[in-house]
Structure 1
Amino acid sequence: MASRKRVFDLLRTINVASCQCPAHGYRGNIHVTNDTPLKDYAFEIKNSTVRYGLGVTREVGMDLVNFGAKNVCVMTDSNLVSLNPVKAVLDSLTKNGINYQVYDKVRVEPTDTSFKDAVVFAKNGNFDSFVAVGGGSVMDTCKAANLYYCDPEADFLDYVNAPIGKGKPVFVQLKPMIAIPTTSGTGSETTGTCIFDFEEIHAKTGISHTALRPHLAIIDPLHTLTLPETVANYSGFDVFCHALESFTAIPYNERGPAPPNPALRPTYQGSNPISDAWARFCLQTIQKYFTRSVYKADDIEARSSMHLASTMAGVGIGNAGVHLCHGLAYPIAGNVKSFVAKDYGTAPIIPHGLSVVVTAPAVFRFTAASDPEKHLEAANLLGADISGKKKSDAGEILADTILKYMEALKIENGLSQLGYSSDDVPSLVKGALPQQRLLQLTPIPQSEEDLSMLLENSLTVY
């Protein structure tokens, strides 16, 4: 019989010689030790069930009957509660004999306070299922309400991402949740993440766990036809950055450490072959339909396509994750001074998609060195001609491509038009530093000086 050392040497030889492509394996896929690897070696694709189609909202009542639901919490916001999407949901629930209560006080760009208000409503309702009808704010609020309703003894910070909260994994069984998005942006209908503005530090953070994913995402493009132009614009740039960031995030097998238990593998795992496929689909859809969907509200083909792209971007980010654009966006939105966005009410607010894209040109100039080919491919998928281009130019080419979209869609000229100056950069960096879950997904490590540089370079962008 061959010696133990001889067997191990043979295994290593076979492994090194084997195919290294993502479909068949990678170096190190045969382990000869029980030690937990320093880097992760696997990725998971977990996702809500997705149903897409014009008018498909009419089926939600039947879905709840199939769930065995008796008393449903419907969450929305004050702008939507009297509009067709909510009416369609309530009509379906009534026709199918489902009892429900409506919570319509969801805050656009929610805070820890608004989350807690929704949790109180849920705890007083004895609900057996949840339905969210609205944009990302509504869906995120509904996820949080479901979580703390099902774990009534939990402290609010128990589940909030570290280092702000304890970042505990979710082991309680959540109630069935159906998400019906009315915007084309967040992709929250397929993710296990809910984001809020933590008022104490004037920066956004969130709760992230696969258990928070809705059971069912009902994607009905009819709901997008009443979407105001500015909302379609800013939310579309959220899709835009979701696709770019998940596509260029650190590869899943370069992220570490590997979890000692698969249940502890993070929601955001890094780019992988499956999330890359969805990112490519989204970027191609954006190239063809984004501008049309913003300026032609009745273009059902364009708005339907962007609605589907939003969901598919959610599938990608829900497993791969996002990085620097989002990490910097949270303090940008959280520290808003006086900027008031059209179609978002009268209070100061920097909508999420705007806060994300404003640093995108600077971010992708910075990250391009990590994988020039992927950055060039992204630019090409967005319509840029990359024939004969050098790898060393990848960052500038992708940044220029992003800027063309921003200019065509009249995005504000950098942080300066959002009310910030160089004097604000240190506080914005301070707000970005707690976003380690996102910063660590960036394909290039970054220092505080790097973050300052990126923000300085984003004060004006044209």
Structure 2
Amino acid sequence: MAGPTIGALRSLTKTWKNCLPLSSSAARCGNFSTSANQDASKEYAYEMACSNIRYGEGVTQEVGLDCKNLKARNVCVMTDKTLTKLDPVKVTLESLERAEVPYKLYDKVRVEPSDESFKQAIQFATDGNFDVFVAVGGGSVMDTAKAANLYSSNPAASFLDYVNAPIGKGRQVTHDVKPLIAVTTTAGTGSETTGTAVFDYVKLKSKTGISSRALRPSLGILDPLHLRTCPERVSAYAGIDVLCHAIESLTAKPYAEREPRPDNPNLRPAYQGNNPISDIWSKHALRVTAKYLKRATYNADDMEARSQMLLASCFAGIGFGNAGCHLPHGMSYPISGLVKNFHSKDYDDDHPMVPHGLSVIITAPAVFTFTAPACPERHLEAAECLGADISNARKEDAGKILADVLRQIMLDIDCPNGLSALGYTSDDVPALVAGALPQHRVVKLSPRPTREEDFAHMLESSMTVY
């Protein structure tokens, strides 16, 4: 699999030090000391974790042998109703049949899943007593399979036990889960690399999630052939999710500023804050996305562009899966959850829905204008990775420069013009703020402290983007 260049590795230290949190005028992320005088409440380490990844055209045909190698006796294949008619699922099932591995198919995954659809999948998995899971689809399918695996492996757990606090109890996953093979069919979520499962919590009218390294797939399958069936809008909105994953990871609060430090390394969160390793993957993902997103969106036959976007999605997944996302994702959850009547072309949905990547990018220009003063060098570097000339840029203009680059990308792939185009008005801002505030897993990774009025201002500023 292609990866960052040696030059990128050599520039690592210089880049990582260029982030000065507003909360500390003395501490620069990169000058962290492990002396006896260090602040014992703050983190001092980070961990790098991601799934095993296999990339190649046609590699899905190996899934049956993978399950056989795992000595699987009863495989749960999860997908959605649209994909059951397409090659990714057909190739997967044929592979299982060739390997003579028994399986059952669950094709009721909801695009942009809810707690209710999660529970239906969990019940199917619990009743089936499966020993291996195979997810074939985009982020919705992979996240549903993660939840089904988690809860069916511990049927005594209540649903909110593992949901992120403060919405749920945020319990640590201490039991063994079954192997999960994730066959991705979109280029955006990076869910094949992460331990995160996101869903709409109907009661709250906002998204939330479950996050644990235990949920990471055992193997992520990246087969570029599957992207031939990915529609234009799905390619566009998945692709801009890659952008936001990478920029949010690069500009998140530094890991050494996160507190409290865990008493046990098992309690260290998956989303740790920016760190030298995740930086490399995030920047590389931005460069690849800048080059190939527009081509991949408008030409399904451009296999070079779609293959590169598949890799970019994985690269960004490794980055944000360890550093984390922040405000664009935090505000995207109520934008999705409070949707009124919005439907997007190319999504076979039977309910109003704002596609995830669209819900994230829609506030990104306003967010990065707001967060730039916390670490302007990082915002400028993100803009440079996306093609901006920053040779004469001033730090105080970092937010505007990055926001302008993002607006041009949004125009290039025909994104709707702001929250108003999704059906929202200023009257909805208080409810959107209320839905964003409890998203501690992500919003607390903002490099700049964020108050309720800051959320309101960013949402108001996002009513129109262009």
Pairwise same-fold verdict (TM > 0.5)? yes
Tell me which residue corresponds to 2:456. 452
Would the alpha carbon gap of residues 36 and 166 (structure 1) be closer, same or farther in structure 2, given more than 3 Å must change? farther
How far is 1:27 from its partner? 4.3
Aligned-partner Cα distance in 2 for 1:28–1:340: 48
The runs of at least 4 consecutive aligned structure 1 residues that moved more than 4 Å come to 19-23, 25-28
Would the alpha carbon gap of residues 404 and 258 (structure 1) be closer, same or farther in structure 2, given more than 3 Å must change? same
2:178 alignment partner, one of 175, 178, 181: 175
Tell me which residue corresponds to 1:118. 121
Q: Deviations over 1:11-36 (max 9, x none)?
A: xxxxxxxx99979x954543438x98
Aligned-partner Cα distance in 2 for 1:387–1:317: 27
Aligned-partner Cα distance in 1 for 2:14–2:380: 23
Structure 2 unaligned runs (5+)? 1-12, 18-28
Aligned-partner Cα distance in 2 for 1:204–1:90: 32
Tell me which residue corresponds to 1:350. 354
Tell me which residue corresponds to 1:337. 340
SS state at 1:74 partner:
strand
Q: Deviations over 1:163-214 (max 9, x none)?
A: 1110000000000000001001110111000000000010000000000000
Tell me which residue corresponds to 1:143. 146
Counterpart contact for 2:249–2:320, Cα < 8 Å: yes
1:423 alignment partner, one of 427, 436, 443: 427
Counterpart contact for 1:20–1:27, Cα < 8 Å: no
How far is 1:397 from its partner? 0.3
Tell me which residue corresponds to 1:206. 209
Q: Deviations over 1:132-185 (max 9, x none)?
A: 000000000000000001000000000000011100000000000000010011
Which structure has more relative contact order (CA 8 Å, sep 6+)? It is 2
Would the alpha carbon gap of residues 42 and 22 (structure 1) be closer, same or farther in structure 2, given more than 3 Å must change? farther
Tell me which residue corresponds to 1:366. 370
Q: Deviations over 1:297-353 (max 9, x none)?
A: 100000000011111111111100000000000000000001111111353110000
Paired letter, 2:411: E
Aligned-partner Cα distance in 1 for 2:344–2:421: 11
Question: Is 1:386–2:403 an aligned residue pair?
Answer: no
Aligned-partner Cα distance in 1 for 2:89–2:414: 31
Counterpart contact for 2:240–2:361, Cα < 8 Å: yes
SS state at 1:400 partner:
helix
Q: How many residues align?
A: 442
Aligned-partner Cα distance in 1 for 2:447–2:68: 45
Question: Is 1:316–2:316 an aligned residue pair?
Answer: no
Structure 1 unaligned runs (5+)? 1-18
SS state at 1:131 partner:
strand
Tell me which residue corresponds to 1:71. 74
Would the alpha carbon gap of residues 375 and 202 (structure 1) be closer, same or farther in structure 2, given more than 3 Å must change? same
1:414 alignment partner, one of 414, 418, 423: 418
After TM superposition, the structure 1 = structure 2 runs for residues 83-122 of structure 1, keeping only pairs within 5 Å, are 83-122=86-125
Counterpart contact for 2:366–2:462, Cα < 8 Å: yes
CA RMSD, 1 decimal: 1.5
Percent identity, aligned pairs only?
Answer: 59
Tell me which residue corresponds to 1:432. 436
2:163 alignment partner, one of 149, 160, 164: 160
Aligned-partner Cα distance in 1 for 2:406–2:39: 40
Would the alpha carbon gap of residues 21 and 281 (structure 1) be closer, same or farther in structure 2, given more than 3 Å must change? closer
Counterpart contact for 2:34–2:44, Cα < 8 Å: no
Tell me which residue corresponds to 2:265. 262
Counterpart contact for 2:42–2:261, Cα < 8 Å: yes
Tell me which residue corresponds to 1:14. none
SS state at 1:133 partner:
strand
Tell me which residue corresponds to 2:9. none
TM-score by length of 2: 0.93
Tell me which residue corresponds to 1:250. 253
SS state at 2:272 partner:
coil
Counterpart contact for 2:251–2:378, Cα < 8 Å: yes
Paired letter, 1:158: D
Would the alpha carbon gap of residues 389 and 32 (structure 1) be closer, same or farther in structure 2, given more than 3 Å must change? closer
